[in-house]
Amino acid sequence: MTRTVIRGGLVVTAAEEMHADVLIEGERVVALAAYGTSVAEGWTADREIDARGLYVVPGGVDAHTHMELPFGGTSASDTFETGTRAAAWGGTTTIVDFAVQSVGATLRAGLDAWHAKADGNCAIDYGFHMILADVNEHSLKEMDLLVAEGVSSFKLFMAYPGVFYSDDGQILRAMQRGADNGGLVMMHAENGLAIDVLVEQALAAGHTDPRYHGEVRRELLEAEAVHRAIKLSQVAGSPLYVVHVSAASAVAELAAARDQGLNVFGETCPQYLYLSTDNLAEPGFEGAKYVCSTPLRPKEHQAALWKGLRTNDLQVVSTDHCPFCFVGQKELGRGDFSKIPNGLPGVENRMDLLHQAVVDGHISRRRWIEIACATPARMFGLYPRKGTIAPGADADIVLYDPTATQTLSAQTHHMNVDYSAYEGRQLTGRVRTVLSRGTVVVDDNRWFGRAGHGRFQPRATCQYLI
């Protein structure tokens, strides 16, 4: 079994920071010892990695990605191969992607299809959530089987009537089932029926540009849906995880529920922290690059999101990585914003953008690791195998240079998409080396990974309940 020692770095986990050496045997961390002590110096290894001047952090856990998702008349442009490779380049070593139930089909058929897409193609480890698009007697029963095989979270949509939408009765039934079997309900909280009315009215008025996407998907309709989802989860006695929260008033709904001691959780994404309706309003058709749902909000909302991350009213930052090329894909919505495929690329950028938040003073270093690694692992039953550096954990480790600078660009990123949502943005901090289960996959700007190294990770139920 290969022994590796990472020497002299500042190990940062959600819980602590320490100058320590890390001993890895095979795929696992076996010990940490204070740097410079006789214990650490006594370790012999096949490979020594010098981490002086670097942070040694757990590999990122991105709990919200959509590789190869068929959506909006096209498919997300990253495959499991390209998307997981890009994730690794950016310091993320685990993704949890969304398998999709088609209307009229079983959860089993959807999950099998997603296994077939991912199996043998991923560069890093991966798990699945299941999208429930057709809540009925059979799919409710199937939820129990999926939880037992490690697919322990289920996304429901209050948006997208006719596609993924579930009505309140269906949502309540799925939540009741989750309360029984431990499955965590993840909610896309926007009032889709009301939004569709506003879309129709906007188009009838000749408002076809991308910026109208942000206008019709009103903040109030996100807050209303979050409120309703919370009440339904209270009735069901189930926990609730609200995905891609973008509006200040939605954060307020979550905060009020949490103040009551409820098991209600919220996720936001880098695009809501760094981008805004100003991007949606970029001239020409450029705004299409920023069309996602929930939509980008006016800049003023960002302070509430940062505050929510500091106060733990928001617990997780995921990417909702769902890339569509500008040419040929986003362009499907020229002349009709409602036909622009919804989604942004970002799986490669999340760890860096959140490190920039440390540099900018929004969050602490340990909070960076908590919201990007430890809590997503706990929330989705992967901890402590993932999300921390501790004896017994998988050796998913990133050596991070906090002083290196970089400029984000489509010219240099590894995601299979022809634009960057953060083109030209300058960041301080950069990944130097990435280990996935003890194997170096990225080092000094070189790729050593391979498709098929990544393994499916069966997950336990939520480990974050109050």
Would you say 59 or 192 has its CB closer to ligand URP? 192
The minimum distance between CB 205 and ligand URP, in angstroms, equals 24
- Segment 120 to 179, residues that bind ligand URP, using CB under 6 A: none
Contact of residue 350 among ligand URP, Zn ion, none (CB under 5-8 Å per partner type): none
Size of the site for ligand URP (CB under 6 A): 9
Residue number of the CB closest to Zn ion reads: 188
Residue 355 is a binding residue for ligand URP (CB under 6 A): no
Q: Which does 438 bind (CB under 5 to 8 A by kind): Zn ion, ligand URP, none?
A: none
Peptide bond before 384: cis, by omega within 30 degrees of 0? Answer: yes
CA–CA gap between residue 128 and residue 67 (Å, rounded): 11
Smallest gap, in angstroms, from Cβ of residue 313 to ligand URP? Answer: 21
Buried b (16+ CB within 10 A) or exposed e, 9-37: bbbbbbeeeeebbbbbbebbbbbbbebee
Nearest alpha carbon to residue 382 among 30, 57, 60, 15: 60
In 119-191, which ranges are continuous DSSP H helix?
137-148, 168-181
Check binding of 321 to Zn ion (CB under 5 A): no
- Verify binding: residue 62, Zn ion, rule CB under 5 A: no
Nearest distance, CB of residue 353 and ligand URP, angstroms: 17
24 within 8 A of 3, measured Cβ to Cβ: yes
Strands 316-317, 264-268: parallel, antiparallel or unpaired by DSSP?
parallel
Rounded to whole angstroms, the Cα distance separating 388 from 370 reads: 9
Q: Tell me the closest approach of the beta carbon of residue 381 to Zn ion, in angstroms.
A: 19
The pattern of x and - marking residues 314 through 353 that bind ligand URP according to CB under 6 A reads ------x-x-------------------xx----------
83 is an interface residue for ligand URP by CB under 6 A: no
**Identity of residue 397:** I
**Restricting to residues 178-207, which ones interact with Zn ion according to CB under 5 A?**
188
The residues, any chain, with a CB within 8 Å of residue 29's CB and separated by 6 or more, are 22, 23, 389, 390, 391, 392, 393, 394, 395, 397
Of 188 and 413, which has the nearer Cβ to ligand URP? 188
Q: Is position 270 an interface residue for ligand URP (rule: CB under 6 A)?
A: no
Nearest alpha-carbon partner for 406 in 382, 381, 431: 431
244 binds ligand URP (CB under 6 A): yes
Choice between 320 and 348, CB closer to ligand URP:
320
* 320: contact with Zn ion by CB under 5 A: yes
Residues lying near Zn ion in the complex (CB under 5 A) are found at 188, 320
